[in-house]
Every structure is written in structure tokens, then in C-alpha cells.
Structure 1
């Protein structure tokens, strides 16, 4: 059994591609419907209120807590809440549930969610653990690593960029992989280095191409120029870099309006996966997901797959 908190669908699709199944705890209706329609076991709930005991004996745990408070956009209140998050994690690691008190003191009510996984790890002690968040949360993952190492886990935590592993976008993420049954080392980049395949071009992934449907390059001044961009920063965010410019508003350039399918392809989702909900909800499901190819790398490092599963895919 694999317990998956804040489930979304990215990690789950990576597991399923290698014959593994999880049970996802997810609050969002559209995300739950997307998971269920794809055949993934799902419990619609507030993960912070769900008891841990039904998952005793879980082999693995996966968590990608919400990141808006720690991201580059917005008020970044989560960054100011980091001392409180560290305190809550330490308390949970010692069996003290202070989430309510510390959460009430946070400037962003979502900040405390980054401490939530420790409640599960303390109670369940699974064989392996995988985590993901925005790069600014890496110090928190290192705190998790120190605690898990004290419990006998082998742990590696770092910022990995999906582009360095073949995805057609710049998407750096703070990830953690841990195992108490094998040594863990996150893999080195496979693309863009000396003797390696080149970085994947975003325009090629979404079918624009350099000559047939050239995407504009957005300069620092916010104007669009000709030519294709090798890769973007984010999924929907990458393709929105031209928004607000004259080129974006020009309806003679329909390729500048990204479809759900184009965004999903940038994330590495299989082309037949159907996303549910309103258009905005679908974009959030895609954009908030861990890219399945990146998830696969972290899961493999944590030991989530058997040798046969790794060889078969």
C-alpha cells in the first residue's frame, strides 16, 4: 500500500506507468474526479483531518504539500512562516501535535501544510518516502532529512530541474527521496551536459516546431520577438510569459493560447489522460502536478519500484 497525501495526479501517473498503485488523499473535487476517471484509488478529504491508522503497514508515502505561500509570486508569506514550520515539524517528529496552535500563528494558513507529512512519517515509518515542493522549501526538506536519518533512513534532498532530465520546460523543484531498506542517491542530470542529449525544445513538445509554428521569445522588456524558445519556466506559466504582449493579444497567432493538451504535454503526461473540471481547474491540476517523468526519477531513487518494474518500462 502506498499512501499519497495532497495527491493530485503527477506522482500517481508515474507509479501507474510502472505497475504500481497508490491511494490518494485529495481535497479538490476536480482533481479527485480526474484521478477516479483515470482509475486511481482516491479518498476526497482534508488530509490534515484524516487519521493515520488506516495506512499502518504502508510501504511508501508521497507528499507534495501546496506551495503558493512559498512560490515566487504572491506575498510569499510562507517564507516568513518558515521558523514556525520548522518548529511544527520538530514537534511532530517527537509526537507532539502542535499543528493547530502553530498554524494559527502563521501569516499564511497554508504554511502549516508543509509540516503535515511529518505526522504521517512519525506514525507510519514506511519503507520509502518521496516529497516535492518549490525550491525555496529545500531547507525544510533538509530538516526532514536530518530527522529521517536519525530514524535510520538513507536520504537525499536537492533541487532538480525537470529540463535536465529531458522535459521540455525549466521546472526546478525541491525533492526528497528516503528509504530505510536501501541507499538513496538522486540521479545526475541526463540532458544538456557534455556528451548528453540536448535539452528538449518546448516548441517541439507542444507541436509548434521552429519553422511551422514559431513561438515568440519574450525579452526582458516584455516584448515578443521572432524565433522559438528552447524551453520555458513552468507549464502554463511558461506559456503565459508572452501574455499581455502585443503578440499574445494578436488573434492571428492562435498557437500562443495554450490548450490543456499542450500544457499537459509539457508536463510529460500521457496524451490520452482526461482532465476534469472547468478550464481553470484543469489548468491548475496540470500546472500543480509533479511532472510524471520527474516523479519517476525520484520514486526510482527511493526504491519504489522493483527491478522487474524498472526493466519493463
Structure 2
């Protein structure tokens, strides 16, 4: 298929958008957080600042869009979060059944408002967009790309059943980021769908999976060794990173990764990770640029606004996104030349918006 333009729901600072733009595909992102929007503005990414629930596929601004993407907020679904999303999983799946059954949207919205955490309900927004594109816009998205934390995989499974019933071929599962050349171990639940009868598959790994204590050159010779922190950071000395991720604050449980290993999962608290020398002396902690590089953002990406660490930790790694997008479009794996484009970011010119009729777009806030 030929992508024309992507609408990215919950777009964050631009992880998927960076990958798409480097593939030559224009994007428009919807994002609530002002700091993430500040980064997007500095990067020149077309952005609507606001609540995804305030927009719909038939809005004139989206008339050229033929690809839907999204990574809804994951805080209530993550192990590190409150767990409200996991407890409400059966309830969320029930809402999907109600949406498919055509129940009045006002009644569904009222019940969604009664969930303990409104962020849990936001995981249903991509499905609303997909169904309204068919029912209201009368023009299905040609491809859909969704990603989230592993706990959301049952939701994607339910999504798959719905999308298959309305004409999509679908693939979903868990992907390990280091298996696609990201210098970081991170698992993501991914769903890709393509309208029509052509089979769709998740992207095939290009690198070996990381296993503690196993040499990076061991394993399937058809795959590249996993990428290390030293491969992407300009630190010409040995170091280790002591992470607080997943420890509950227990010093004895803190993970440790060497410079010749992939990073542990980059979270919004990456600034708390200690970087130490072989002798155990404290070194300079990761800068925003370095943390972004571990996520495979360009090293000169213009991070802006507040809480940049959280922006970086919440984003999808652009390198993984490039692989997923290529698979969703039925292309081959990204070439080395395509992937190399992710190394630097040139600030784009002011985005040209396809506003359509000025009157019908009145009240839409552009960033």
C-alpha cells in the first residue's frame, strides 16, 4: 500500500512520527501534554494540542489521512503504575463488545466516565477512530498501527477480532526492541492491520535477543548482534548503569548493565539512574540527548518543555516504529540507509496544514 498521511493519536514527543517522516510519510499528531507539544513544535512536526476524544476521523483536517496510529497512555496498565488498568481489563473488553454491538455512544461514554482512572478508557480511542472512519467517514484507514505495554495485549487481541470482522487482516504480539537494533531491552505489545485480503505480519527480528550472561555474538548467525549502549553513546570509557526501574526502591534489587550491553528499559525516571566507572565512582548521568539515543531518537533531536525524561521514557523507539510501519505497509524491512536517517534530525520548516474550509476548521488549535 501507499501511505499518504498518518494521524498519530497520543503522539507524545514524536517517536512514531520521527520514523514516518524519515520514511518520507507526513504525519499529524494529537497530543495533550504541553511539554511534548513544545518538543514537537521545535521539531517541526504537525500537531494538534488537545484531547483525542475531542476529534473525529471526519474532521476536515484529517481528510487526506489514510493511516491510523496510536499509543494510548499506559500508566494504569504498567507494572510500575497503580494496576487499575489490569483490574479493569475485563471491563474494558466489555466496552469493546458494546461498541461493536452499536450501543449508543452517549451511554458508553457515561459508563467510561465512571472508571477509576480515565486513562484506562483512553485505550479504546483507536478503536473508536477505526470504526468511525468506516461508519461515518465512509473511508476505512488502509493501515492501523498500535503499540502499548505488554499488559495491553489482551485488548489488542479483542481489537483484532473486531477489525477482522470489518475487513482487516491483522497481526499482533509482543516485540523485543533489542531484536530490531534498539540499544535497550523493552517489550511492546504491537498490533498492525491492513484493510483488504493481503496477509499482514509483524516485522521479523534483525538482531539477536539479549540474554544476561550470553555473549552478544552467540546465537542465530543470520541475525546481527544486539546493539550496546557504547555503540550509540559518545563515551570513550567503560561504565555501568545502576537502574532503579522495577525495584520498588529496594537498593538490593537494583539492576546493573554494563556499557557493552543494551540499556535496561528507558523510563521517565532515567535521570535517577547512576552511571559509574569500573572502580565504582560516580560519573555524569545521562543527558537528554543520550537518553534519547538509547531510544533511537536522533542525537540532535530538539527536546523542549518540562520533564523531558518523562517524554523520552513514554515514547516509542523510532527505530522499532520504522520496522513496524514498514511491515504495516507491506514493505520489506527498512534498509540500512533508511535507518541511518534516524541518526540526525534537521528542524523542519513550518508545517503546511491542509485546512480545508476555513469555517469548518474554526476553533481547532494548531501548535
TM-score (norm 2): 0.75
> Distance between the aligned counterparts of 1:180 and 1:271, measured in 2?
36
Partner of 1:105: 114
Partner of 1:214: 239
Query: Where do residues 1-313 of structure 1 align in structure 2 (5 Å cutoff)?
Result: 1-8=5-12, 9-54=14-59, 55-56=62-63, 58-96=65-103, 97=105, 98-124=107-133, 125-181=140-196, 182-192=198-208, 193-195=219-221, 196-208=223-235, 212-216=237-241, 221-222=252-253, 227-228=258-259, 230-236=261-267, 239=270, 242-243=273-274, 252-255=281-284, 257-278=285-306, 280=307, 282-303=308-329, 313=338
After superposition, the Cα gap between the structure-2 partners of 1:295 and 1:225, relative to the gap in structure 1 and judged at 3 Å, is: closer
Q: How big is each residue's C-alpha offset from its partner over 1:192-211, in whole Å with a ceiling of 9 and x where there is no partner?
A: 141022111123322335xx
Q: Matched residue of 1:129: which SS?
A: strand
Which range moves more in the overlay, 31-40 or 154-163? Answer: 31-40
Q: Matched residue of 1:176: which SS?
A: strand
Contact 2:257 2:263 in 1 (8 A): no
Contact 1:217 1:229 in 2 (8 A): no
Larger fraction in helix: 1
> Distance between the aligned counterparts of 1:121 and 1:216, measured in 2?
42
Contact 2:78 2:151 in 1 (8 A): yes
> Distance between the aligned counterparts of 2:18 and 2:110, measured in 1?
36
> Distance between the aligned counterparts of 1:224 and 1:92, measured in 2?
42
Shift of 1:45: 1.0
Contact 1:25 1:47 in 2 (8 A): yes
Contact 1:217 1:228 in 2 (8 A): no
Partner of 2:357: none
Q: How big is each residue's C-alpha offset from its partner over 1:41-89, in whole Å with a ceiling of 9 and x where there is no partner?
A: 1111101122331135631000100000000113211100111211222
| Runs of 5+ unmatched residues, structure 1 | none
Q: Matched residue of 1:157: which SS?
A: strand
Q: Matched residue of 2:97: which SS?
A: helix
| Runs of 5+ unmatched residues, structure 2 | 134-139, 209-218, 339-367
TM-score (norm 1): 0.87
Q: Matched residue of 1:187: which SS?
A: coil
